[in-house]
Structures are given as C-alpha cells and as structure tokens.
C-alpha cells in the first residue's frame, strides 16, 4: 500500500492508518528529515524479525535506532543524561542527528540482544512525530540502503514502493527523500564524538 501524506500538514486519518498497521505488528516505510527508512513498533518483536529478513541482516549487524517524539519519552530507555548532554541534544533536536546513548536495562529485553547502547532520533519530520505521538511509544527504525554503488539511498518513494511494496505493509510517500543520512554522535563515553558526518551540522 502506497499512501501520499503531506509533510507539512499530515492528515490525521493517514497517521491513524499507519499506526493501526504498526499496532498489529506491521512494517512501514516512511520519510524522515534525511533518507527514507523502514520501521515497526518497538514492542512488536516479530516485526523486528521481518525487517531483519527484508534487509538480510541480523540485529547484531543492523543499526536499529529508535524514533521518539521528545526528550522526555527518551528517558524511559536510556541511563540518566547529564545536563551538558541534555543541552546539546535540546539545541540540535528535532534534526538530522542520531545520538548514541547508554541504554538502560529495559533495552536488551526489548531488542532480545545484549544491546547496551541505543541510537536515538527525533527527526524534524511532522509525519513521524505524529505517528509516534499516536502510537504512544517509540518506533524502531533502520534506513533503506540501495545496492547501487553510486546511489547509496533511493530518494523516490514510488521506486521504493516498487522495490519493497510486496515486503512491507505500507509505504508513506512524503515526497522525495534526501540522499544523505543523519550525523551520528556517540555520547556513550561522556564526551560527544561525531562518528559519521551526515546531513546535520552539530551546534555545540
């Protein structure tokens, strides 16, 4: 299923349709403020396994992150964040960043792995913020890579639907995506370190 959703003003019925699919363990492809990504409900482990199968990668190799709607939702999944890191994240989010944080004891159970760190995104994308708000908890997400050696990310949602439409339950067309991924900031050792420079320019 391919649905067109206007990024500036997403129709509530489209948001509800996506959330209904996610709540039943479905997999959805959606736009972000960087590249298109694939995701599912954090609390639906079978949907994780579907994504692993689609991408042909295990949890250990696949960089799953979570999408939260705000920093208060984040506190349920990470160890306490100190004031300087909180200020850094507040300055840069919502935006095209993935912050790697130390996970709390709940995360290994949710991911059914020995995961001690967690990639976190609050994208500047109203469609996703509305979906997470309606869902009531985070999405698990992983970006869609292209096998093409020159074009790393497919930006056209119709081409994404052609390729993945039979493997997922919904593709949300929010217009052309970017072909540059998020900037990844590792905050697990206390001193933030950029480990992948992407679209976001970190304001310190």
pLDDT digits (tens, 9 = 90+) for 20-65: 999 999 999 999 999 999 999 999 989 988 998 988 766 555 678 9
> CA–CA separation, 53 vs 42, rounded Å?
17
In this prediction, residue 59 carries a pLDDT of 56
User: Which domains, from first to last, does the chain contain?
Assistant: 2-196 (3.90.870.10)
- Output the CA–CA distances (angstroms, integers) from residue 182 to 90, 112, 119, in the order listed: 16, 25, 11
Q: Is the peptide bond before 94 cis (omega within 30 degrees of 0)?
A: yes
Q: Which residues contact 62 (CB under 8 A, 6 or more apart)?
A: 51, 52, 55, 142
Backbone angles phi, psi at 73, to 5 degrees: -65, -35
DSSP secondary structure string for all residues of 180-194:
S-PEEEE-TTSS-EE
Instruction: Return the structure tokens found at 125.
Output: 């994308």
What is this structure's pTM? 0.92
Q: Which of 63, 48, 58, 45 is nearest to 144 (CA)?
A: 63
| Tokens coding 78 | 């990470």
The SS3 call for residue 175 is coil
pLDDT at residue 33, as a whole number: 95
Structure confidence by residue, pLDDT tens digits, 116-162 = 899 999 999 999 999 999 999 999 999 887 655 445 567 889 999 99
- Asked if residue 183 has pLDDT above 90, the reply is yes
């Amino acid at each position: 299923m391919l649905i067109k959703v206007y990024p500036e003003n997403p129709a509530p019925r489209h948001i509800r349709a996506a959330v209904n699919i996610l709540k039943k363990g479905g997999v959805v492809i959606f736009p972000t403020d960087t590249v298109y990504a694939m995701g599912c409900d954090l609390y639906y482990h079978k949907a994780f396994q579907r994504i692993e199968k689609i991408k042909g990668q295990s949890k250990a190799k696949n960089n799953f992150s979570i999408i939260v709607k705000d920093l208060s939702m984040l506190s349920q999944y990470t160890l306490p964040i100190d004031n300087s890191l909180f200020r850094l994240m507040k300055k840069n989010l919502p935006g095209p960043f993935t912050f790697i944080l130390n996970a709390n004891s709940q995360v290994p159970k949710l991911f059914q792995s020995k995961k001690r760190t967690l990639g976190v995104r609050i994208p500047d994308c109203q469609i996703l913020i509305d979906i997470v708000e309606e869902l009531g908890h985070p999405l698990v997400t992983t970006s869609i890579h292209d096998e093409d050696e020159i074009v790393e990310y497919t930006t056209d949602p119709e081409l994404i639907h052609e390729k993945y439409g039979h493997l997922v339950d919904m593709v949300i067309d929010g217009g052309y995506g970017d072909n540059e991924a998020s900037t990844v900031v590792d905050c697990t050792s206390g001193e933030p370190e950029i480990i992948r420079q992407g679209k976001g320019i970190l304001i310190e």
